[in-house]
Amino acid sequence: EAGVAQSPRYKIIEKRQSVAFWCNPISGHATLYWYQQILGQGPKLLIQFQNNGVVDDSQLPKDRFSAERLKGVDSTLKIQPAKLEDSAVYLCASSANRGQWNEQFFGPGTRLTVL
Amino acid sequence: SQQGEEDPQALSIQEGENATMNCSYKTSINNLQWYRQNSGRGLVHLILIRSNEREKHSGRLRVTLDTSKKSSSLLITASRAADTASYFCATDSNSGYALNFGKGTSLLVTP
């Protein structure tokens, strides 16, 4: 079974620039999550999708971050414009169902450096 | 805000020794999970314990849960150098099973 794919693996940009990350979840997984992991901390949920609908985006800085999951499969996370404090690893995860616990499978992450 | 807090922040042991990590959380939970993260990699699920369970085993892993104290512990027995990684506890949120992670324990196992 193929895992969660993310690209790019690394990205370096200057502040005020824009950046986009892509995630392809495990085939058939209805739920997709984006987490932000700042160095030395645990991941923090940014947004959760169930199919192509948003379940939870309460911690997403909506003035600069946006995410979409067209057709309920792939997802993109965008930052526009980026700030220095956005430097982090952005992790995508997917799980089979929302109702009742299902194991979340994580991708390798995209390491973003904002200069 | 992060729900769990792991203790210690860093742990260094020799191969063959046992490693114990603790996690405390603040609010009621449905499940508590432990994840492992190797440097530069994504997270890998290790074990889940439900709120009505007190102890669970999986291979060399033993997890305990004390809901009255809002705490959990992860024990890795007979550690190996390959166990070197960061370990995170995570609790499910009320809003639909997204995970709230702690800051993690960095484990170093030396040969």
Q: What is the pLDDT, as a whole number, of residue B96?
A: 60
Question: Of the given ranges (A26-30, A32-36, B61-65), which has the lowest mean pLDDT?
Answer: A26-30
Q: Has residue A50 got a pLDDT over 80?
A: yes
**Rounded to whole angstroms, how far apart are CA atoms B100 and B4?**
7
Residue A112, Cβ density class (10 Å: 0-12 exposed, 13-18 middle, ≥19 buried): buried
Q: What is the mean pLDDT of residues B48-68?
A: 95
Residue contact A48–B98, C-beta within 8 A? yes
Share of chain B above pLDDT 70, in %: 92
Residue for token pair 């992991």: A37
Q: Has residue B97 got a pLDDT over 80?
A: no
Q: Has residue A96 got a pLDDT over 90?
A: no
Residue for token pair 């995570």: B90
Q: What is the mean pLDDT of residues A86-101?
A: 84
Q: Has residue A30 got a pLDDT over 80?
A: yes
Chain B residues in contact with A55 by the CB 8 A cut-off are 95-96, 98
Residue B59 CB neighbour total at 10 angstroms: 9
How sure is the predictor about A63, in pLDDT bands with cuts at 50, 70 and 90? very high
**Chain A interface, mutation test: which of B97, B103, B105, most A Cβ atoms within 10 Å?**
B97
